[in-house]
Structure 1
Amino acid sequence: MNQKKNITRTAIVALVIAVAGAGGYWAGARQETHGASQPATGGPGGQIDPATGKKVLYWHDPMVPGPKFDKPGKSPFMDMQLVPMFADESGDNGKVLISPRVQQNLGIRTADVVEGTLSSTVEVVGSAAYNERDVALVQARASGYVERLYVRAPLDRVRKGQPLAELYVPDWVAAQEEYFAARRMQGGQDLADAALQRMRLAGMNEEQIRLVTSTGKVHPRITINAPVSGVVDELAAREGLTVAAGAPLYRINGLSTVWIIAEIPEAATGQVRPGAAVTARTPAWPGQTFQGKVESLLPEINAATRTLKARIELANPRERLAPGMFANISLTPATGQRSLLVPSEAVIQTGTRNVVFVAAGDGKFTPVNVEIGAQAGNQIEIRQGLQAGQKVVVSGQFLVDSEASLKGTIARMVDASASAPQTDRPPAETSHSGTGRVEKIGPEGVTLSHGPIPSLHWGPMTMAFKPPPDGLPRNVAVGDTVAFEMRKVQDGYQLTAVTPVTDSAPAAMKPGAMPPAMDKASMGGKR
């Protein structure tokens, strides 16, 4: 019995020792593989890099900037060494620090935020048309017959006072004969006055009545003259035609001014107002300009072209502009309110946010969310987020954006403003594809020597990936060339699809294939 108890006690002690050893091994392996997520107190924060003499905050993998390690070593994600993050490079209050040498090499330039008025010329196209406010209608003043036409075709040019047609009016004959009969009667002055009034009612004007009374002859015909100069737009009269009183005979359009019907883009309609000055040019008269103004904006948007029609009135000296002519229009918008202006290239537009980098001095840059307004030429209006006199990055801002993303500045800014994540950099769930060679397959992951991955701006390198959720295909082995897809996860990158590449295609033709010199030794894990 005692012997059995001793054996049992010995087995229990051995089991406890084994479990403790396994736990220590697992903790050590975890510490070695993943490192601490934050610098330990009194650890790297107190270390001094002997090469630079700077205080080290933590180490990280620039390709996977999330995890932080409390000691140097090889990255568990890439075939490269961890990089130290120094205290004077971490920035403060969301700032990004870039050394002056790097700024000079990459040509980072800044520009001042200035206060001014955003005003520019809007260039549009249009076509000429008749000015519908410069129209004269010629009608028959009395019923009669068209005996003669002097202007016989539409689009004939006419001058003011030019004879157009001659009408025979029978009703005038009776009224004039009655007048002559009353005048011959003794004491018939009252009857003569009544006959004159009847001639007026028949459509005769005062000049025609004076002609009848002065000559003492009957004038049954009337000559119709052009009331204005212009072009005959419509002709409704023909010789021998019977016309009633008020019947239209001619429609004459003046050409001293013309309309230009211009298509204004919807985005520019806010800059155009009635009365704005206009300069027009037409291929028909090269080198000559026509001046005018915007008469009105028609309240309707073309759903197909997203444009608004503007009616522009132009002076037409020597009647050179004809309806249907094509014209290039330069509109000068009315002077707007003063606002803050920055160069257009300073604004990074992600679709959900607009970001600029403000130079804070000493090589530090701060990302700032801004609200933008109208844009003209190479300037854009800033409605909120900046102040006059600040300096913004206008060249190389994507380098600053990359540095900010690596150091978590953008993430802190997004959290602070409760805005959407930056969309100009690939989101975590975005899938990326590439081609590489299988170097190692193990339970902890798959090591690939892959070619460039343009969607992540990666160059050729060797790195470890987490295996696909459903595991690797059975026909994939070490040494095979595969096409793969992967996505960003919390602690690295995970393969989502792996497909072997057939050997029938030459290596140079395979997407993402690396040159022979790009082996692991030559790449060294660098981008």
Structure 2
Amino acid sequence: MTPRRTTYLLLFALTAIFVTYAVKWTGLTPVPASDLSGTPTTGTAVVLAPVTTDRIRHTIRAVGTLRANESILIRPEIAGRIRQVWFEEGQTVEKDQLLVDLDDSELQAELAQAAAQLKVSRLTYERLKQLDLDGKRYVTKQQLDEVAGALHVSQANHALYATRLAKTKIRAPFSGITGIRRVSPGDFVGAGLDIVNLEDLAQLKIDFKVPETLLRHLAPGQPIELTTDAYPGEIFHGAVYVIDPQVEMTTRSVQVRARIPNSQQRLRPGMFAQVLLTYGQEERALLIPEEAVMPKQEKTYVYVAREGTAQQREITLGTRTKGFVQVLNGLTEQDTIIRVGHHKLQEGDPIVALTEPSR
């Protein structure tokens, strides 16, 4: 017996064993190929599935990290010793509420000195100005200009010390929740040293990226569903409010930002989240089981059962949903596809269809 003949006999025996066990253990019933073509024949055992229609939502899935609506590290603009801390850690504070007092005794003295100098400069200028108006020429123009310049310097110094004094009162720039305090009363802090973080958690933001090929489907106001590992199975809702006008060259994606209401403050900045963005729906989309799809060299194919044979068909896929995938072109509702057994088929191979028992 030649090696080639031995190989053929072995393949035939394996096929027969597969069909026998498929029928015995899965309850599948063989349908003779004559039911498909009218001519009795033998072939590869397969399971068929119809092309169905159903309503689907067109969605985009992405991931992102939650961030506060507003977030800031409270820092002093000037150096000084902390005289009083007016907040508790984790406290809700209102906009412009006093948070920290720096010792202002030295600045108070400097401001008083600047105020006194300003008063003298103003009186001197007004007196010389009056003499000039009398027309007696007791004052030269140069003298008047010098006194006017001194008055401007005094005014600037007074404004400078008044501004520095105001900066000893550190206030909340927006309403929010204070974090963990980094300083204590009596500490000397330099300008820019962290005191506490302030977070606005009334609503959160999330940034996520979408491929540029889907840019045409994006618009402000689109709803999103958000899930987190912290609350398994729970869905939070939000909406897109801005789409970055520039596409990132390295990733070929566009950044999208959405807001999520968070009145109960269950969500926290820094949480990892999954995002589902819905951009439309289709009432009668063509659907096939995902397992029937065969990717090959950047194209996608299925096998269609026709007249007792397998015919390869190139298709274009759309949205995926719960084990099914949308077919944009390449199939019709009248087609029957091969769901199981297609990986060992070639174009034109005869098939034996197995039907699944009704449930």
TM range (shorter): 0.5 to 0.7
1:159 maps to a residue whose letter is E
Aligned counterpart, 2:163: 204
| Alpha-carbon distance in 2 for matches of 1:251, 1:338 | 49
- Indicate yes or no: 2:236 matched with 1:293: no
Q: CA deviation at 1:166?
A: 1.0
Aligned counterpart, 2:201: 255
TM-score, length basis structure 2: 0.55
| Alpha-carbon distance in 1 for matches of 2:153, 2:295 | 87
Give runs of aligned pairs for residues 375-454 of structure 1, distance below 5 A.
375-377=319-321, 378-382=323-327, 386=330, 389=332, 391-394=334-337, 398=341, 409-410=348-349
1:149, 1:165 within 8 Å by CA — same for their partners in 2? yes
2:225, 2:237 within 8 Å by CA — same for their partners in 1? yes
- Call closer, same or farther: CA 1:173–1:324 in 2, change over 3 Å: same
- Call closer, same or farther: CA 1:257–1:250 in 2, change over 3 Å: same
Aligned counterpart, 1:331: 276
2:47, 2:340 within 8 Å by CA — same for their partners in 1? no
Q: CA deviation at 1:357?
A: 1.1
Aligned counterpart, 1:227: 173
1:373, 1:383 within 8 Å by CA — same for their partners in 2? yes
| Alpha-carbon distance in 2 for matches of 1:119, 1:322 | 29
Aligned counterpart, 1:369: 313
> 59, 65, 68: which is aligned to 1:130?
68
Aligned counterpart, 1:474: none
| Alpha-carbon distance in 2 for matches of 1:390, 1:286 | 35
1:142, 1:202 within 8 Å by CA — same for their partners in 2? no
| Alpha-carbon distance in 1 for matches of 2:316, 2:122 | 93
2:301, 2:313 within 8 Å by CA — same for their partners in 1? yes
| Alpha-carbon distance in 2 for matches of 1:324, 1:229 | 20
Q: CA deviation at 1:376?
A: 0.8
Aligned counterpart, 1:178: 114
Aligned counterpart, 1:356: 303
Q: Secondary structure of the residue that 1:177 maps to in structure 2? A: helix
- Call closer, same or farther: CA 1:238–1:410 in 2, change over 3 Å: same
| Alpha-carbon distance in 1 for matches of 2:71, 2:38 | 70
- Call closer, same or farther: CA 1:203–1:288 in 2, change over 3 Å: farther
Aligned counterpart, 2:86: 150
* Consecutive unaligned residues in structure 1, runs of 5 or more: 1-33, 35-60, 66-88, 209-220, 303-307, 412-423, 425-527
> 101, 110, 120: which is aligned to 1:166?
101
1:393 maps to a residue whose letter is T
1:281, 1:290 within 8 Å by CA — same for their partners in 2? no
2:314 maps to a residue whose letter is V
Corresponding pairs, count: 287
Q: Over aligned residue pairs, what C-alpha RMSD do you find?
A: 5.6
1:144, 1:168 within 8 Å by CA — same for their partners in 2? yes
> 111, 133, 138: which is aligned to 2:51?
111
Relative to its length, the structure with more strand (as a share) is 2
Q: CA deviation at 1:230?
A: 1.6
Aligned counterpart, 1:195: 154
TM-score, length basis structure 1: 0.40
- Call closer, same or farther: CA 1:197–1:98 in 2, change over 3 Å: farther
2:335 maps to a residue whose letter is V
Identity score, percent: 13
> 188, 191, 201: which is aligned to 1:242?
188
Q: CA deviation at 1:148?
A: 1.4
Q: Secondary structure of the residue that 1:391 maps to in structure 2? A: coil
Q: Which has the higher contact order (CA 8 A, sep 6+)?
A: 2
1:130 maps to a residue whose letter is A
- Call closer, same or farther: CA 1:200–1:111 in 2, change over 3 Å: same
Q: CA deviation at 1:255?
A: 1.6
Q: CA deviation at 1:289?
A: 3.5
